[in-house]
Structure 1
Amino acid sequence: EASIWSILYPIEQVDPSWKSIPYGRPMANQRFYVLDGVLEPCPVWVPGQLYIGGMGLANGYWRDEQKTNASFMIHPHTKERLYKTGDLGRYLPDGNIEFQGREDCQVKVNGYRIELGEIEATLQQHPAVKETVVTAVGELRENQQLVAYIVPKSGEFEAERADFYIQKWRDFLQKKLPDYMMPADFILLDALPLTSNGKVNRRALPAPKSIRSHESAAYVKPQTDAERLIAAVWQEILQIEQVGIHDNFFELGGNSLLLVKMQVKLQEIFGQELSMIEIIKSPNIDSLAKFLSQEQSRKTAAQQGHNRGEARSALKTLSEQRKQSRQKQRSQNN
């Protein structure tokens, strides 16, 4: 795509606060740009996409016009030919460029932008992990969840205790990463699939049969009508085949947008007003069905109490009317 050496940073002193050594500044006759989504330069500290310009650019990919057109472009304003690296970076105050990760290794899950490489690097620190790849799985962006593919390290892993190690890896990550960076599923592989040039072929990774958190309790089938109705709603909006009454909505892929969809559907089905707080407090089918049943019983009891109150009021009114009628009749007789 471009000259092997196109940017340089002389390493003299290393700041411990740096995540990595800066990319630096472009070399002679080379140009580097940090551009935003409309190809305008990003201000200092603001992340953007890295583009290379200058004399070092290649003509394109050999006999691959489609890939060439996707990666090389003419800037609409400067008319300079640029190569889109797929890297993310930002300008530092001193003019150097800092690498921020790969564009194709950043995903947005449940509203959080996540650097997959950070999860992979953390997992790689575990003694029982030989290799790992983390990716976002889900046909719809709003439904995507993180899945960790792991090649266990021989001598540190026992296949018959796979569930034990998966829980160990989960516990290990929880101590180092925030909850929104936790994989929803762990898949064990003998080896990671590779492309012809030796890179991990993410497209060849096996799809999980269903995204179910290993923290979730054992599957318990919905029993009551309310549980079955709620389960059907979850299956529809989460796009999964099986839901147990103790499964957590958010661990199965639920987010704020899907929460609103669930709220609307449940209100239509049960004919009850449901607040977001009430739903969040009942994150599984068991607790949500119990809440709906209790709410229905409370409303029924309240209605019965109201009806009894109306009956007592009516009887009191009737009694008063009869009393007045008798008094009127006695007055007329006198």
Structure 2
Amino acid sequence: KILPHLLEMTNRKNKNIEVVNEYGVTEAAVMSTIFRRQQREKTIKIGHPIWNTRLYILNKWHKPQPIGAAGELCIAGVGLARGYLNRPELTAERFLSFSYRSYRSYKTYIPEKIYKTGDLARWLPDGTVEFLGRIDLQVKIRGYRIEPGEIEKRLLNHPGIKEALVMARQHENGEKYLCVYVVGASSSKGVQAIEVSSLREYLSGELPDYMVPGHFVLLEKIPLTPNGKVDMKALPAPKIESGQEYAAPRDDIERRLVKIWLEVLGREPSASIGIDDNFFRLGGHSLNTTILATRIHQAFHVELSLSEVFKRRTVRKLGEYIRQAHHKAYIGIEPVEKMEYYPLSSAQKRLYFLQQMDLESTAYNMP
């Protein structure tokens, strides 16, 4: 893994140095791709396949992915191994039969053997391949599949960052969240100071909201094992703080709100949350914002829209809103008893009416 700060150092020392990146695995004779970096390029790709080697980027159904879509990088060609010695199960799992269409006759399928690398990659519009990380390092948070390597790549393009590591951690209630560990870039004046708020703002402009980590930890260096791997166990848990001085609840409404926040955020009852702490800096997100609004409605009989929660991100401001708002009793959704048939909704009746007008139509067929 070549880091951007090493490339910059190489360029400063000698602009005539040509950086060549090779990628490969032991199962495919070590070297399968090559990439020659141009001087102005900030990132290192794994490039093009070498002679007599073919690359496929496939989804979980072993179908080719379009340009820009991530998938598993698979290798084929004369350099491929026959399999693993005396390990037929692993050979069957990693070495697969695959068919591709001939460029001479699009209808002709040519069978060959491919090796599944377990690496996540994607084709770029210029025909090169970009490495995104290991598939087994993918995490699923709030229904989204996230590649930590893609977030790390964006962070390493930031001029103030030397090293970055993204991993999933868990709150006390078992909910997963993304945590970033960063090492600041050094200069003649020492290690650059990094503002967490500026990093969060930077990533917000580079990535969709669900990929922006909620917590950042600044380190002097990434801890490594004796083998040179990242020592995950040595990484400290983030201190989940809002950055505000603690201000205690002033009345019963604020005390009840703090209790609700602790439950929604999955904190211990003994944890302290001040009335000026920001809900989202403490780990709040769109999903538990919905839960928060419902819990407030149940506790105070005040209906709260999501936009109001986003406007009033502290206990103090929510308390002010609750004191002035009109009360509206909370009515829960009662589960209906199980029936063999249920009455049609108005939308379903419309579809039935349209289907009866043209019995031959397949416009509303379900696959």
Coarse TM-score class (shorter-chain normalised): 0.5 to 0.7
- TM-score between the two structures when normalised by the length of structure 1: 0.66
Corresponding residue of 2:32: 6
Q: Deviations over 1:162-212 (max 9, x none)?
A: xxx4xx43355367432657654443445422244313233541222x422
Alignment correspondent of 1:40: 63
1:239 aligned residue: 266
**1:135 corresponds to 2:161:** no
Aligned equivalent of 2:113: 80
Shift of 1:274: 1.7
Q: Which has the larger radius of gyration?
A: 1
Tell me which residue corresponds to 2:133.
Answer: 102
CA contact 1:106–1:116 (8 Å) conserved in 2: no
- Residue 205 of structure 2 is aligned to residue 156 of structure 1: no
Return the alpha-carbon distance in structure 2 between the equivalents of residues 256 and 173 of structure 1: 20
Cα pair 2:244 2:276 within 8 Å, conserved: yes
- Residues 102-128 of structure 1 deviation map (CA, whole Å, 9 limit, x = unaligned): 1457666676956222344145x32xx
Structure 2 match to 1:145: 178
CA change 1:207–1:72 in 2 (3 A) is farther
Corresponding residue number in structure 2 for 1:229: 256
Distance 1:190 1:60 in 2: 43
CA 1:46–1:211: 2 relative to 1, 3 Å: same
Q: Please, what TM-score do these two structures have when normalized by structure 2?
A: 0.61
Render the CA deviation track for 1:63-114: whole Å, top value 9, x for unaligned: 9999x58982535886835222423212647xx3420521457666676956
3-state SS of paired residue (2:274): coil
Q: Does 1:249 align with 2:279?
A: yes
**Structure 2: gaps of 5 or more residues:** 1-25, 100-110, 329-367
Tell me by how many angstroms 1:130 deviates: 5.5
1:38, distance to aligned residue in structure 2 (A): 1.8
SS in 2 for 1:251: coil
Amino acid of the residue matched to residue 130 of structure 2?
F
Q: In the alignment, what sits opposite 1:304? A: none
RMSD: 4.1
Q: Deviations over 1:215-258 (max 9, x none)?
A: x3222232322222222222122123432211212222222111
- The Cα shift of 1:282 comes to 1.0
Distance 1:149 1:278, change over 3 A: same
Greater share of residues in helix:
1
Q: Output one character per residue of 1:27-58: Cα deviation in whole Å (capped at 9) or x when no partner.
A: 31x33211113221112343322122344345
Counterpart residue number, 1:310: none
Residue segments in structure 1 that go unaligned for 5+ positions in a row: 159-164, 300-334
Choose 266-275 or 237-246, whichever is displaced more.
237-246
Contact 2:65–2:71 (CA under 8 A) maintained in structure 1 = yes
Instruction: Provide the aligned length of Structure 1 versus Structure 2.
Output: 278
Q: Which residue of 1 aligns with 2:12?
A: none
Matched residue, 2:308: 278
From 45, 51, 65, give the equivalent of 1:27: 51
In structure 2, the residue corresponding to 1:178 is in which secondary structure?
Answer: helix
CA contact (8 A) 2:74 2:114 kept: no
2:295 equivalent among 255, 262, 265:
265
Q: 1:59-208 counterparts in 2 under 5 A? A: 72-74=94-96, 80-90=113-123, 92=125, 96-103=127-134, 115-122=150-157, 125-126=159-160, 131-138=163-170, 143-150=176-183, 156=190, 165=193, 168-170=194-196, 172-173=198-199, 176-178=202-204, 180=209, 184-208=214-238
Distance of aligned partners of 1:169 and 1:278 in 2 relative to their CA distance in 1, 3 Å threshold = closer
Q: Percent identity?
A: 28
Counterpart CA distance in 1 for 2:73 and 2:199 is 30
User: Kindly tell me: are residues 74 and 244 of structure 1, through their superposed partners in 2, closer, same or farther at Cα, counting changes over 3 Å?
Assistant: farther
